[in-house]
Structure 1
């Protein structure tokens, strides 16, 4: 029974995945425009962030749309297809659950933030749209 359920959801992802990605591309929000110095500061701060995600996960799409809206060049790591990123997510965050934002500080410590709502709230608070 478990294999039937997995096959059903795998088929569903295969069929709906391209539709979701097309919708994401067609509904991309316009990014915030900052002055060049402020955007450079934001870009530097984003180097300490990484989003672990699955390409067709609706919650990951929601976070990516917010990243575009806030003009944040955060590195995106595919934890579904890339085993190295999947292993890093499991070892660092403790679970293979996406979306997950890895927040590194200057001392090399990392905080792993799960849940799309929490990630979006963090990004909005740290990088206000002005």
Structure 2
């Protein structure tokens, strides 16, 4: 089963590389405003997780500058996710707003949050 998961993960990564979305073009001022809105966001993810790939594609398509944290291969990131979010489940968006931290799971919820509350706010 681990071999099948590894092979499928590599296929997902290859297809993501081949069909990578292009980013949204904005003025420097608009992009800087978005970068300021996203500076306190971090995505905890596994590289080959299909739901993480979905969120990363949305981030790239919308030209968002969000820190990516590998929760599979980096024990410190994994521990932060477990302690802060309560579970090692990815994708998970860590949202820090005025000192208060919220952890958001589920790829569709994360994408909806980014598009409605960050880009279109």
Structure showing greater radius of gyration is 1
Q: How does 1:86-97 map to 2 (within 5 A)?
A: 86-97=78-89
User: For residues 74-122 of structure 1, what are the alpha-carbon distances to aligned partners after superposition, in whole Å with 9 as ceiling and x for unaligned?
Assistant: 000000010100000000000110000000012x211000000100100
Which of structure 1's runs of 4+ aligned residues deviate more than 3 A? none
Contact 2:38–2:118 at 8 Å: present in 1 too?
no
Contact 1:70–1:127 at 8 Å: present in 2 too?
no
What is the RMSD of the two structures over their aligned residues, measured on CA atoms? 1.1
- TM-score when normalising by structure 2: 0.94
Q: Please point out which of 112, 115, 120 is paired with 1:124.
A: 115
User: How far apart are residue 53 of structure 1 and its match?
Assistant: 0.3
2: CA distance between counterparts of 1:128 and 1:110?
A: 20
User: How far apart are residue 73 of structure 1 and its match?
Assistant: 1.2
Equivalenced residues, count: 120
Structure 1 unaligned spans of 5+? 1-7
1: CA distance between counterparts of 2:119 and 2:76?
A: 32
Structure 2 unaligned spans of 5+? none
Contact 2:37–2:118 at 8 Å: present in 1 too?
no
